[in-house]
Amino acid sequence: MGDIKRTEISTLGEFCLIEKLTKDFEIKNPSTIKGVGDDAAVLDYNGFKTVVSTDLLMEGIHFDLSYFPLRHLGFKSVIVNLSDIYSMNAIPKQITVSLGLSNRFSVEALEEIYFGIKTACEAYGVDLVGGDTTSSHSGLTISITAIGQGEENKLAYRSGAKPGDIICVTGDLGASYLGLQLLERERQLQKSDPNIKIDLEDQKYLIGRFLKPEARKDIIELFQKSNLVPTSMIDISDGLASELFHISKQSKVGILIEEDKIPIHPDAQQMALKFQVDPTTAALSGGEDYELLFTVDPKDLEIVRYLPDVNIIGEVKELQDGINLLSTGKKLHKLKAQGWKHF
Amino acid sequence: MGDIKRTEISTLGEFCLIEKLTKDFEIKNPSTIKGVGDDAAVLDYNGFKTVVSTDLLMEGIHFDLSYFPLRHLGFKSVIVNLSDIYSMNAIPKQITVSLGLSNRFSVEALEEIYFGIKTACEAYGVDLVGGDTTSSHSGLTISITAIGQGEENKLAYRSGAKPGDIICVTGDLGASYLGLQLLERERQLQKSDPNIKIDLEDQKYLIGRFLKPEARKDIIELFQKSNLVPTSMIDISDGLASELFHISKQSKVGILIEEDKIPIHPDAQQMALKFQVDPTTAALSGGEDYELLFTVDPKDLEIVRYLPDVNIIGEVKELQDGINLLSTGKKLHKLKAQGWKHF
């Protein structure tokens, strides 16, 4: 991690540590009544629905610190949770952050993580309101809970898609997965020759998509401006295919998507070919895109058609039709949910 | 863990696993609009303040599975979070549970943990509304977030104590710490002679206080019935001394407590002497009691005096008076915050 200064965490008490790490966080939301510093945070959501999401990220499973800079890790840990709140068509307002750390981490390392957390909080207008910092026998564990608010009639569940609805996805898919493959490959190279100089400068897009993804706050704001309420919505963390299965299962509907409509960035196209991976497979199964997959009523077609960075990729079908991909060669393929498996 | 049946977690998918583990949880609170099964839970706290607390528990740091039965661990993990909500004078309504597990845990082991979680949810009227289950390279990690509601004018912070207020504590202190010492000693004995038969039957109270603590829901209900609002409150997780320091710091007040008023169970008294520990020290620094420490305005003296299981242990003083213990021998001792240190 290349720390110049190294302060052992044990030299600070736990409370002192939390104070040190959180003192620069300012409270931005009127719904935050009481933040860090008591047994619990106090929030006020009078008249709104409260939306809560939580994630547990473990070193060696969800991230590898040999190529994941700590400040990016802090940032991304927040983003993945905010993305879950946005995907309900709600606005995240607060987060809690719990960290488990082995003694290989210094206070400076922790400050790097919190720098990333703070950057995300500022970019998304979210308040840090609590958490827990504890030691761990092995590696780094990050647990984040995000809390947001949504209007009762505008919340978008996974269960609201109806046959005939239009299926949309934001941004582009597969780039994050290919960024990860790049970093993994470079790590292997560096293992075999520690003096090797690696220039990833021309792969900034793919690596950035993996190391520093953004949550689609902008899309939720566009929905509000255009008075559009998706019939269902989910964020793409495990891969497009896996998320389509969730929509299908919970809405009890079939799915048809068209291969040539799936948005893939040119850099991802090229890198997939280099890695001898089908670009569509990378988009379907890669995951960690943190784009939004949503369905809208056909009456809203003219609205979504002109929304920037929104792609229409298919149509909701009857349950018995199953989950299918119409290939570029106009053949129908049954989709498999090859989401990202932890176990 | 003595599993008879052992199903590898890898034989179930992640979503299937969560479904299997959470299908028996019923939703009990009208404020729970949407529980497990979407990107985020949806809650409705119209007219109430939302209170949120989170904890991260790591194997080898917070618990040792060689003597901690998994169902008790599940139960206690919930309790420690609920206790944080009660200590705000609020009522917990929902929890999210995230687990990180190495492959040494079977599905049956996981079900044991969830059995304990469910028992706690039922006993305290709390809904499980979400979470995350992931693999881990080492041991078990449990992260729980509890969400509750409180009335605006009745929330009790750490910062509300005023000079002249009466200091109270519920239940008795130090027993949990001594229960832990007992279990640790027996583990050492068993290490030296694996065939040794250990009978902890007559130490049920101490061990129960450590393995299966309760949160003081009953006290919060008593407050409501008696129209009593504490001026400040905190739960005792790190030890009475440490919590008094929190009240002192955040309320900017001094503290005087009387040694002979600190409630200690007879079993704890005896065991402390066996371990050659001062019983008062065990009560001050032991921790994990999950009792409530609170202060009340002197006008409420007659109410607290007759509340069952509430002990008056001292008085809030001016900040410059410091934090002191009046010993049984009528000597004044400066208190030290010997809370439980993780690092």
Show which of residues 68-107 on chain A sit within 8 Å of chain B, judged by CB atoms: 83-85, 87-88, 90, 94, 96, 98-100, 103
Q: Do A250 and B147 touch (CB under 8 A)?
A: no
If we measure between CA atoms, which residue out of B124, B122, B112, B129 comes closest to residue B214? B124
CA A55 to chain B, closest CA, distance in angstroms equals 6
SS (H, E, C) chain A: CCCCCCCEHHHCCHHHHHHHHHCCCCCCCCCEEECCCCCCEEEECCCCEEEEEEEEEEECCCECCCCCCHHHHHHHHHHHHHHHHHCCCCEEEEEEEEEEECCCCEHHHHHHHHHHHHHHHHHHCCEEEEEEEEECCCCEEEEEEEEEEECHHHCCCCCCCCCCCEEEEECCCCHHHHHHHHHHHHHHHHHHCCCCCCCCHHHHHHHHHHHCCCCCHHHHHHHHHCCCCCCEEEECCCCHHHHHHHHHHHHCCEEEEEHHHCCCCHHHHHHHHHCCCCHHHHHHHCCCCCCEEEEECHHHHHHHHCCCCEEEEEEEECHHHCEEEECCCCCEEECCCCCCCCC
For the stretch B123-158, pLDDT in tens is 999 998 888 888 888 789 999 999 998 888 899 999
Q: Do A56 and B141 touch (CB under 8 A)?
A: yes
Of A49, A51, A58, the CB nearest to B141: A58
If we measure between CA atoms, which residue out of A174, A165, A179, A203 comes closest to residue A285? A174
CA A76 to chain B, closest CA, distance in angstroms equals 17
Looking at per-residue pLDDT, the higher value among B131 and A334 belongs to: A334
Question: How many interface pairs between A and B have CB atoms less than 8 angstroms apart?
Answer: 228
What does the CA dihedral A55, A56, A59, A64 come to, rounded to 10 degrees? -10
Q: Which of B128, B154, B180 is the last residue of a domain?
A: B154
| For range B227-242, the mean pLDDT | 95
- Here the CATH number for the domain that contains residue A320 is 3.90.650.10
Which tokens belong to B322?
Answer: 């410091």
| For range B203-231, the mean pLDDT | 96
* pLDDT band at A47; cut points 50, 70, 90: confident
Is residue B342 in some structural domain? Answer: no
Q: Which of A127, A152, A177 is the last residue of a domain?
A: A152
Judge whether residue A2 has pLDDT over 50.
no
Residues in chain A with CB shorter than 8 Å from the CB of B235 are 39
Same domain (yes/no): B291, B177? yes
Same domain (yes/no): B176, B104? no
| For range A71-94, the mean pLDDT | 95
Is residue B210 in some structural domain? Answer: yes
CA B329 to chain A, closest CA, distance in angstroms equals 32
- Here the CATH number for the domain that contains residue A72 is 3.30.1330.10
Which tokens belong to A3?
Answer: 């720390």
Is residue A159 in some structural domain? Answer: no
- Report which residue type is found at A154: K
Determine phi and psi for A144, rounding to 5 degrees: -125, 135
- What's residue B343's pLDDT? 41
Judge whether residue A72 has pLDDT over 90.
yes
- Report which residue type is found at B339: G
Question: Rounded CA gap, B104 and A294, in Å?
Answer: 38
Looking at per-residue pLDDT, the higher value among B191 and A255 belongs to: A255
Same domain (yes/no): A196, A63? no
| For range B232-251, the mean pLDDT | 95
Q: Do B38 and A85 touch (CB under 8 A)?
A: no
Q: Do B52 and A41 touch (CB under 8 A)?
A: yes
Is residue A340 in some structural domain? Answer: no
Of B98, B100, B342, the CB nearest to A14: B342
Q: Which of B154, B175, B191 is the last residue of a domain?
A: B154
Same domain (yes/no): B170, B239? yes
| For range A299-323, the mean pLDDT | 96
Same domain (yes/no): B121, B183? no
> CB distance from B234 to chain A under 8 Å?
yes
- Which structural domain, as residue segments, surrounds residue B321? 166-334
Judge whether residue A343 has pLDDT over 50.
no
CA A58 to chain B, closest CA, distance in angstroms equals 6
Same domain (yes/no): A236, A310? yes
B104 contacts: CB under 8 Å, gap ≥ 6:
none
Q: Do A50 and B44 touch (CB under 8 A)?
A: yes
Contact A18, A131 (CB under 8 A): yes
- What's residue A129's pLDDT? 87
CA B298 to chain A, closest CA, distance in angstroms equals 24
Same domain (yes/no): B136, B210? no
For the stretch A245-295, pLDDT in tens is 999 999 999 999 999 999 999 999 999 999 999 999 999 999 999 999 999
Is residue B43 in some structural domain? Answer: yes
Same domain (yes/no): B172, B264? yes
Is residue A342 in some structural domain? Answer: no
Q: Do A40 and B143 touch (CB under 8 A)?
A: no
Q: Answer positive or negative: Cα dihedral of B168, B169, B174, B180.
A: negative
Determine phi and psi for B147, rounding to 5 degrees: -130, 135
Question: Rounded CA gap, B328 and B260, in Å?
Answer: 6
Q: Which residue of A has its CA nearest to B134?
A: A342
Q: Answer positive or negative: Cα dihedral of B168, B171, B174, B180.
A: negative
Same domain (yes/no): A127, A180? no
Q: Answer positive or negative: Cα dihedral of B74, B80, B86, B88.
A: negative
For the stretch A166-210, pLDDT in tens is 999 999 999 999 999 999 998 888 888 877 777 777 899 999 999
Same domain (yes/no): B274, B137? no
> CB distance from B135 to chain A under 8 Å?
yes
Looking at per-residue pLDDT, the higher value among A78 and B186 belongs to: A78
Is residue A228 in some structural domain? Answer: yes
Residue B144, helix vs strand vs coil: strand
Same domain (yes/no): A66, A203? no
Number of domains in chain A: 2
For the stretch A8-40, pLDDT in tens is 767 766 566 667 777 777 777 877 877 776 777
Judge whether residue A159 has pLDDT over 60.
yes
Is residue B44 in some structural domain? Answer: yes
Same domain (yes/no): A234, A299? yes
> CB distance from A40 to chain B under 8 Å?
yes
Looking at per-residue pLDDT, the higher value among B30 and A235 belongs to: A235
Contact A124, A215 (CB under 8 A): yes
Question: Rounded CA gap, B189 and B342, in Å?
Answer: 25
* pLDDT band at A7; cut points 50, 70, 90: confident
Beta bridge partners of A326: A258, A332
Q: Do A43 and B37 touch (CB under 8 A)?
A: no
* pLDDT band at B41; cut points 50, 70, 90: confident
